[in-house]
Amino acid sequence: MTSSRPGCLTMVTRGLAGAAAALFVVLLPITLLSRNLALVIFSPPELSRLVSARIVDQGTLRQVILDNLFGAESGVAGIDLEGAAQHLSPAERDVLIDQLLPAAWVEAQVLRVTTDFFAWFDSPATRMQLSVDLEPVRAALRGAAAAGLVEAIVESWPACTLEDVTRMLGLGVVPGQEGFPYCEPPEPLRGLLVGALTGGMRLLAEGLPAEAFVVDQDFSATEDLMLVKEQVRLVRFVSRWGILASFSLLGLIMALAVRSWRDLARWWGVPLLLGGLLSFVPVLLGGRLLRLMLARFAAGGGAIPALGNLGEALGSAIREAVLGPQAVQAVLIAGAGGVLLVAGFIQRKRPPAASKRAEASPAPPKLVPPADQDEPQVDGKRPSGMFG
């Protein structure tokens, strides 16, 4: 009599398959989120797109330009631009900044900076030099953009009174001097004023360098700089390709426990469903887990200020770019697991193919000798005994 219980080898393989399934459920959300994060923060084109959109659309770049160009410490050939631009509305300032720094130039410079940054990170160099190309800005300040800026500034001023004109003439029509009235004078005084401001813009353009360094620092004195570089490169590699380790567990499960389509539905369906649901948890939590990962990344690169500030400055933009694909992928994985479970349930409800064939085929005829056939006889008598 044979036992229907599985043997020791079968129990061991099923136990290993169960452990692999549990490990898959735990690792999938982590590796999936890590890969989506790596595809953003370790990709110069994608990162530059996010940075450009962030600093242009939300006004970060405009605020920096306004603080430097129209701030209290700014001045162009002795001209006080803060006082000159005090009557411009925020919308008018934004239009002028867009003329001086178009969005295409901003995106190109951000791509340049991020590409140079990752190239430095992958090299043994200790000096980091990140710069932007100012030649288009110089050309704009020497051309029509500067003239448009001056015209917009002067047109925003209120009309001058006779006293204002007298004081302006006494100061020599040189904006920036103490007591200069920022008002729009009549011609020909207005033409002289516009010419003075336009000439100041051209002087500013000539004084600008061909490129401006965002970062120019030697980190040779930084302790364990190369170790930090190696650690971040390792994190980048694991984040990009760790997802393959998760899905390779499905192959291990198949080798250990899958022997039929019903087994495939059970042993793959449950891990995929649970793993997909857990992968949706970071989306539901509003990016808390992602913030922890970014904080960990920034702490690991604390020896390099530019690296540490990267995650903090772009946290919200990166969350939007990472959690969107994470949600789609989690739904697809959980859906695939659900489909497998439903297919396995349907397969279990169907009768086996052997039973179908047995019901469909007629029973074979029994071998019974014909009734009218005479039985063999020996000497007229029916055989008996062992030969009967």
| pLDDT of 276 | 92
Which tens digit of pLDDT belongs to each residue from 92-110? 777 777 777 777 887 788 8
What is the value of pTM for the model shown? Answer: 0.59
| pLDDT of 375 | 52
| pLDDT of 125 | 83
- What are the φ and ψ backbone dihedral angles of 302, each rounded to 5 degrees? -60, -25
Using DSSP's 3-state secondary structure scheme, residue 17 falls into helix
The Cβ of residue 142 has, within 10 Å, a number of other Cβ atoms equal to: 17
| pLDDT of 47 | 77
Q: What is the secondary structure of 278-336 as a DSSP string?
A: HHTHHHHTTSHHHHHHHHHHHHHTTTSHHHHHHHHHTHHHHHHHHHHHHHHHHHHHHHH
DSSP 71: S
Mean pLDDT by 10 residues, the chain (388 residues): 64 89 93 88 79 62 55 50 72 76 79 85 84 82 78 85 82 66 83 81 77 79 75 85 90 89 88 92 73 58 47 64 88 93 80 53 56 53 49
| pLDDT of 336 | 93
If we measure between CA atoms, which residue out of 155, 185, 182, 160 comes closest to residue 95?
Answer: 155
| pLDDT of 370 | 56
| pLDDT of 23 | 94
| pLDDT of 332 | 94
| pLDDT of 57 | 59
| pLDDT of 54 | 66
Residue pair 224/303 in contact (Cβ under 8 Å)? The answer is: yes
Residue pair 182/157 in contact (Cβ under 8 Å)? The answer is: yes
Which tens digit of pLDDT belongs to each residue from 253-266? 999 888 888 888 88
Residue showing tokens 């965002």: 214
CA dihedral 371, 374, 378, 381 (to 10 degrees): 70
